Amino acid sequence: MFGTCGIRKKFSTYDKSEKSFTPNMALRLGEAIGTAIGSGNVVIGRDIRTAAVAIEYAITSGLVSTGCKVYTIGMVTTPTLAMSIDYLEADCGVMITASHNPPEYIGVKLWNKEGLGYSSEQEEEIEEIYQNRAFLHKKWDELGSVVQIHGINEVHIRKIMKNIEYRCKDRSFNIIVDPGNGSASEIGPKLLSQLGLEFITLNSQPDGTFPGRMSEPSSKNLEDLRLFIQHSKKIQMGIAFDGDADRVVFLNEDGEVVEPIRILTFLAQEYIKTTYPDPANRPPLAIVTPVNSSGVIEHVLEPMGVSIHRTKVGDINVSQAMLKYDAFLGGENCGVYIWPQFTCHKAPDSLAAIVMLLKYLSKYDYKFSKVMKDIPEFPYIKKGYELEEDIIFSDENYLTIAEKLEEALKTNGYTNFRRTMVDGVHIRFDGGWILVRKSGTTPILRITAETQSSNGETEKVIALGKGVIGSLVSLLDEE
């Protein structure tokens, strides 16, 4: 039932096979969650999808039937849900969302009392209870209750402004914000207004059909936003959210998307320079990012004494690794930023990321694009190849790929290999890296590479990877 990021399926009113997500499944899921936490307190929120209300009510019914007290906070962003768990002293958070997926999808993400996404072990416990129907049985006078909470967006904004302490005192910005008709349609503009900024909005009417653009804030989906910026003489920054606002993407004054890992690197650099100006007295510092993120983060931050730890793709994997390595910051190449010091939770928080970026940009008198010049952008290419057979790659398969890939790279003059095997095969070498990773949901093998020299050099590394894989399994056309 659970995948890489909670549950995410197409919605259906009824599906005996349970390949789609139905209210009947949601009811039993609520019973399973309530059973697992022992009739505790649960905060539940939803995004703007048309199926979200049906799923929320069904899950709430299951929770109440197992004795839970349910705090319902309505249509919110995922970061707001994560923040509210501590604020409402809940034992669990339930977010009804399919994130950046198309509008016919719906899903659920679960959070523990620390605001950390459920681990695979916790999800397996829920699923076992669900499959065995081993639910708590409560009498009529032992049932739970539902409490409706109002004004949670205002609480989230107040916490961010208090923790980050920024009021645009040094420099004002003129911004266009595009929530993509998603959950940030209210809180995003409200945050910018509280900061005293000039801004206009695009696609800021909540609508679960996503009429303005598709939910994922990819360059392709942000074409209208790019054009608005390019035709404006005033706009200095564009901000785009995905459907539940756990992702945020920034565009500069020229309408160009700034790669999120470059933003993450800039935020870390500025934080370190501000908080620990003397390099000789810096404590051990760590950052976490997945294996598919740009190597610019190592290039800029390792010389500052920062340890970079790579994880599997997925914000929950990043959050859990941050605990393990006591990291102050984590993020993904898709626009995820996790900064517990300033958010009081361990989930992605796009709203806090906006305020932190504006705070550090305000130190400089020149344009966004010029500020980012010190953070290089390396030639980064990702390609996917369809497999003739949808096979599962074992650790042994990946080890064979790693050995043959290093041999091919060495033959072509690459040196100093550093191998990571947490999610496929990730090999760093002097001047770049390559990642080979089988998709978890489709018969696609993805090869991603980056070098510090040119697109041609990166294409060469991709070709080496494809040659190695092609000698082991049959690849079809590029997707």
Beta bridge partners of 109: 95
Q: Which residue among 99, 293, 294, 319 is the active-site one?
A: 99
pLDDT at 233: 87
Tell me whether domains 155-257 and 380-478 share a fold.
no
**Is the CA virtual torsion 62, 102, 434, 271 positive or negative?**
negative
Superfamily assignment of 260-374 in CATH?
Answer: Alpha-D-Glucose-1,6-Bisphosphate, subunit A, domain 3 (3.40.120.10)
- More confidently predicted of 18 and 206: 206
| 265-287 residue pLDDT tens | 999 999 999 999 999 999 999 99
- Residue 441: pLDDT above 70? no
- Where along the chain do its domains lie? 7-150, 155-257, 260-374, 380-478
Which residues have a Cβ under 8 Å from the Cβ of 250 and sit 6 or more positions away? 237, 238, 239, 240, 257, 258, 260, 263, 357, 368
Q: Examine the residue annotation and report whether 99 is marked as an active-site residue of this protein.
A: yes
CB atoms within 10 A of CB 474: 12
DSSP 327-353: -SEEEETTTEEE-HHHHSSSS--HHHH
| 442-467 residue pLDDT tens | 789 999 999 999 999 999 999 999 99
Which of 424, 426, 441 minimizes the C-alpha distance to 390?
441
pLDDT at 17: 87
Place of tokens 């990012």: 289
What is the Cα–Cα distance from 263 to 353, expressed in whole angstroms?
Answer: 9
Per the prediction, the chain carries an average pLDDT of: 94
Whole-number percent of the chain with pLDDT over 70: 98
- Residue 240: pLDDT above 70? yes
Q: 42: which 2 tokens? A: 């649960």
Helix (H) or strand (E) holding 165: none
Q: 359: which 2 tokens? A: 């705070």
CB atoms within 10 A of CB 243: 31
| 69-93 residue pLDDT tens | 999 999 999 999 999 999 999 999 9
Residue range 382-394: mean pLDDT, rounded: 88
**What architecture is the 155-257 domain classified under in CATH?**
3-Layer(aba) Sandwich (3.40)
pLDDT at 234: 93
- Residue 168: pLDDT above 90? no
pLDDT at 77: 98
- Residue 300: pLDDT above 90? yes
Residue range 10-19: mean pLDDT, rounded: 90
CATH fold, domain 7-150, is Alpha-D-Glucose-1,6-Bisphosphate; Chain A, domain 3 (3.40.120)
Which of 292, 307, 316, 308 minimizes the C-alpha distance to 447?
292
Superfamily assignment of 380-478 in CATH?
Answer: Alpha-D-phosphohexomutase, C-terminal domain (3.30.310.50)
- Residue 158: pLDDT above 70? yes
- Residue 475: pLDDT above 90? no
DSSP 182-245: STHHHHHHHHHHHTT-EEEESS-S--TT--SS-SS--TGGGHHHHHHHHT-SS--EEEEE-TTS
Q: Which residues of 53-64 are buried (b: 16+ CB within 10 A; e: fewer)?
A: ebbbbbbbbbbb
Burial class (CB in 10 A: 0-12, 13-18, 19+), 127: middle
169 pLDDT band (50/70/90 cuts)?
A: low
Whole-number percent of the chain with pLDDT over 90: 87
Beta bridge partners of 69: 41, 145
210 pLDDT band (50/70/90 cuts)?
A: very high
Determine contact, residues 7/107, Cβ cutoff 8 Å. Answer: yes
Coil, strand, or helix at residue 32? helix
- Binning the chain into helix, strand and coil, the percentages to the nearest 5 are 40, 25, 40
- Residue 2: pLDDT above 80? no
CB atoms within 10 A of CB 278: 6
